[in-house]
Amino acid sequence: MNADDRVRKLGSFEVGGLGEIFGELTLDGGDSCLDLHSSTAFGVPAEDTFGTLFDRTKVSLLQCVSSGSKRGFRSGENFFHQKFFAHSILFGNRHLGSHAREVSAVNFTVDDAPAIFHDHGAFRMMHDARLELERIARERNEEGEVKLGEHPEVFYFTGKHDILSAVTSVGKVMVHHAVS
């Protein structure tokens, strides 16, 4: 993940019966972490830590490990800080603990999907597509409205969304093109 891909989310998190503590969740691949800040000392949260982001999304941080706490003092006030790393971070409409057996679907994207699931014909670019564009314009009665430049090109998607589907011991795995 590049520094440009890093995402920061603000919210409040439940920690050790102290109620909500303000925190910043940084999503940065293997360096993802939760930074908690409080004016009151707080202990290490449970192995699973739950929070609510400011956009009301529920976040579950599973199997957390603390890097230790730090205490500071500024302008006559104490402040406390701890950084946590989670083995898994889940977002949704409700919290989900690491021992829950309730997951019905998981969606994710991977940066190298084209290399893993190469589908040669699904997307294509045609150079020097003058004849194709003129034919499309004629068929749609848009001849006068379509002004072609010197080197027209066509980019297309065949509409084939499904790449693969397989039944596994944990459920059905499906891979789809996500056209944007």
Tens-digit pLDDT string for the chain (180 aa): 455 678 999 999 987 666 788 999 999 988 899 999 888 877 666 678 899 999 999 999 988 888 877 888 888 888 888 888 888 898 989 888 877 777 777 777 777 877 888 787 888 888 989 898 888 888 887 666 778 888 989 888 888 888 889 998 878 888 888 777
pLDDT number for residue 104: 73
Question: What's the CA gap between 158 and 37, in Å, rounded?
Answer: 50
Is residue 10, in this structure, part of any structural domain at all? yes
CA-CA distance, 150 to 97, in Å (whole number)? 59
Q: Are residues 117 and 75 in the same domain?
A: no
Same domain flag for 15 and 47: yes
Residue 164 amino acid letter: L
In a domain, 99, yes or no: no
- Of 42, 117, 135, give the one whose Cα is nearest residue 84: 42
Residue-level pLDDT at 23: 92
84 in the same domain as 25: yes
Residue 101 included in any domain = no
Give the CA distances from residue 75 to residues 12, 72, 78, 79, in Å, rounded to whole numbers and listed in that order.
Answer: 24, 10, 9, 10
- Residue 16's pLDDT is 63
What is the per-residue pLDDT for 46?
66
Same domain? For 22 and 88 the reply is: yes
Q: What's residue 174's pLDDT?
A: 87
**50 shares its domain with 125:** no
- Cβ atoms of residues 174 and 164 within 8 Å: yes
Residue numbers of the domain that contains 36 = 3-92
Residue 145 has a pLDDT of: 76
Clarify whether residues 85 and 117 are in a common domain.
Answer: no
Last residue of a domain, one of 92, 125, 147: 92
Task: Report residue 130 as tokens.
Answer: 């003058």
Two structure tokens written together for 108: 């994710």
pLDDT of residue 1: 47
103 located within any domain? no
Same domain? 84 vs 38:
yes
Domain shared by 118 and 83, yes or no: no
Q: Are residues 18 and 82 in the same domain?
A: yes
* Confidence at residue 147, expressed as pLDDT on a 0 to 100 scale: 81
Q: Is residue 108 part of a domain?
A: no
**The pLDDT value given to residue 10:** 95
The reported pLDDT for the residue numbered 146 is 76
| Domain final residue, candidates 60, 92, 124 | 92
- Tell me what pLDDT residue 143 has: 65
The tally of domains found in the chain comes to 2
Single out the residue in 45, 60, 92 at which a domain terminates: 92
What 3-state class would DSSP assign to 37? Answer: strand
